[in-house]
Chain A
């Protein structure tokens, strides 16, 4: 499952990111990193706040160009935007002037799907995320959880091979997060996309992923842990937290993560959090 044997959906080779400030200072955010995600594999990337995990995600998305190294998508070097990837943002990313239906349909329309067909498929996707009756609502008329559902439909409707998620359920309350986690797993198990899920919530990472990567605190953040999660699927993201395997993995990973979080605190004391 590590993607070495067959073609990886996404492979990072020596990817590093250094920020250069206008005054000439340099900040080495991410040290050279190798990473492979197999097709259909769910990988969670956990690390202290501001460690550069979102930056790494943006590199895979093609929104950020790495300072060194390269990204391979299905074996092909990535140039510009990663068109095979769908991206679910932490912040609100729906077009406020489009209804839920239009927000989902637009991703299909720009691909060249005829309007009527795009609307029909958007309607189906809204139903799959449990928003069948909300097609004509504008984003401001939806709750935080409903907006995330529309966002999920918007991304998945385009049928990306790779799903990139940047703390997508971060702004939601605990109950809604749990429900969204289950929904995500349900949709993912039906389509089996490669997933890179960035979060700072270790429990969420273990509950969802096949593999959890731990990232060190910046500068020069690295992946310092790569742990498989041998919990059988299908999982209930809430129930799974009560199993002994979960508790055991959580203990090991937390031990590793804790020291990095403390390091991160020490370094960011009094400093502003780097923009992720």
Chain B
């Protein structure tokens, strides 16, 4: 508990130091507020956006896009990963194409998706899906293929048929791998949404940032980034809670990483 308090202290200290440098840098003229804004201005702008309520609609749009991209991409990834992992030949045939598509920078797809799905939320969801799908797909694919062979042998000796092995062995194994990639998947769903908004939309956090940039409103850009950062932290915390509830069978060390 004490170690934790000390850690938290230093984490906050880093933030305070950064803000202090920024603040005094602009106050004494090292940094030009036109290009770098001021921390208090950014806070004030953010506060005003929340107080006046204009930000809520944009937050909601981005959240909706993120959730949709995450859900569609994950379900697709789990199903495809599962299905291909158990089909040796087909996965060998598709392997180079999957790798090629995954290696492609998704930003180049954004205009095409805008063309196909319009400027509403669905072009952003599509962009997020292409990111989330592959993360989850590769994790599940790997997870199913690398299921401990002793467990497979034991399942067979316990008399399980294909369907029962799927339920008691492959699905839980794949899900544990999926959860390992969950944080990354949620993050990428958000990246897809924001990048999509940034490149062409009428609402969302990415749109807000893009609008601010268009009018050289550095304070607005930083305020948008701040809201985005808070948004990411909140989503990540929710994912951690879900993870902890669903993976109770995992040894604690594996969940919390290096901590403890």
Spell out A's residues near B (CB within 8 Å). Answer: 61, 63, 81-83, 85-87, 89, 91-99, 106-107, 110-111, 138-140, 154, 158
| The 7 residue pairs across chains A and B that have the minimum distance between CB atoms | A93-B154, A87-B157, A97-B172, A107-B158, A138-B249, A140-B251, A97-B249
Residue in A61, A98, A138 whose beta carbon sits within 8 Å of that of B157 in the complex? A61
User: In the complex, what residues of B have CB within 8 A of residue A91's CB?
Assistant: 150
User: In the complex, what residues of B have CB within 8 A of residue A111's CB?
Assistant: 159
Closest A residue to B163 using CB positions:
A110
> Main secondary structure on chain B at its contact with chain A?
helix
User: In the complex, what residues of A have CB within 8 A of residue B251's CB?
Assistant: 140
CB proximity of A104 to chain B, nearest CB, Å: 10
User: In the complex, what residues of A have CB within 8 A of residue B156's CB?
Assistant: 63, 81
Residue in B157, B164, B168, B249 whose beta carbon sits within 8 Å of that of A81 in the complex? B157
Per the bound structure, the CA–CA distance linking A253 and B169 in Å amounts to 42
Per the bound structure, the CA–CA distance linking A98 and B176 in Å amounts to 13
User: In the complex, what residues of A have CB within 8 A of residue B248's CB?
Assistant: 138
Per the bound structure, the CA–CA distance linking A61 and B154 in Å amounts to 11
Q: Are A95 and B172 in contact (CB under 8 A)?
A: yes
Q: Are A140 and B150 in contact (CB under 8 A)?
A: no
Q: Are B153 and A140 in contact (CB under 8 A)?
A: no
Residue in B157, B168, B176 whose beta carbon sits within 8 Å of that of A106 in the complex? B168
Decide: A110 near B159, CB < 8 A? Known: A63-B153, A87-B153: yes
Interface status of B151 (Cβ within 8 A of chain A)? yes
Besides the known contacts A87-B154, A95-B172, A110-B159, 19 further A-B residue pairs in the complex with CB atoms under 8 A apart: A81-B159, A83-B159, A86-B157, A89-B154, A92-B150, A93-B154, A94-B154, A95-B151, A97-B172, A98-B168, A98-B249, A111-B159, A138-B248, A138-B249, A139-B249, A140-B249, A140-B250, A140-B251, A154-B158
Closest B residue to A86 using CB positions:
B157
Residue in A94, A95, A158 whose beta carbon sits within 8 Å of that of B159 in the complex? A158
CB proximity of A40 to chain B, nearest CB, Å: 21
Tally the A-B contacts, defined by beta carbons under 8 Å.
57
List 14 contacting pairs A-B, 8 Å CB cutoff, sorted by A. Answer: A81-B156, A81-B159, A82-B157, A86-B157, A93-B151, A95-B168, A99-B249, A106-B158, A110-B158, A110-B159, A138-B249, A140-B249, A158-B158, A158-B159
Per the bound structure, the CA–CA distance linking A92 and B158 in Å amounts to 15
CB proximity of B78 to chain A, nearest CB, Å: 16
Closest B residue to A99 using CB positions:
B249
User: In the complex, what residues of A have CB within 8 A of residue B168's CB?
Assistant: 95, 98, 106, 110
Closest A residue to B157 using CB positions:
A87
Interface status of B160 (Cβ within 8 A of chain A)? yes
Per the bound structure, the CA–CA distance linking A93 and B149 in Å amounts to 9
Q: Are B249 and A63 in contact (CB under 8 A)?
A: no
User: In the complex, what residues of A have CB within 8 A of residue B176's CB?
Assistant: 97
User: Could you give, for residues 158-178 of chain B, a 1 whenever the CB lies within 8 Å of some chain A CB and a 0 otherwise?
Assistant: 111100100011001100100
Per the bound structure, the CA–CA distance linking A93 and B249 in Å amounts to 15
Interface centre among A82, A94, A140 (most CB of B within 10 A): A140
Per the bound structure, the CA–CA distance linking A154 and B159 in Å amounts to 12
Closest B residue to A93 using CB positions:
B154
User: In the complex, what residues of B have CB within 8 A of residue A140's CB?
Assistant: 249-251
CB proximity of B237 to chain A, nearest CB, Å: 24
Per the bound structure, the CA–CA distance linking A2 and B251 in Å amounts to 47
Interface centre among B158, B164, B168, B173 (most CB of A within 10 A): B158
Decide: A96 near B154, CB < 8 A? Known: A83-B159, A107-B159: no
User: In the complex, what residues of B have CB within 8 A of residue A99's CB?
Assistant: 249
User: Could you give, for residues 80-101 of chain B, a 1 whenever the CB lies within 8 Å of some chain A CB and a 0 otherwise?
Assistant: 0000000000000000000000
User: Could you give, for residues 133-163 of chain B, a 1 whenever the CB lies within 8 Å of some chain A CB and a 0 otherwise?
Assistant: 0000000000000000011011011111100
User: In the complex, what residues of A have CB within 8 A of residue B159's CB?
Assistant: 81, 83, 107, 110-111, 158
Closest B residue to A154 using CB positions:
B158
Chain B, range 199-257, C-beta contacts under 8 Å to A: 248-251
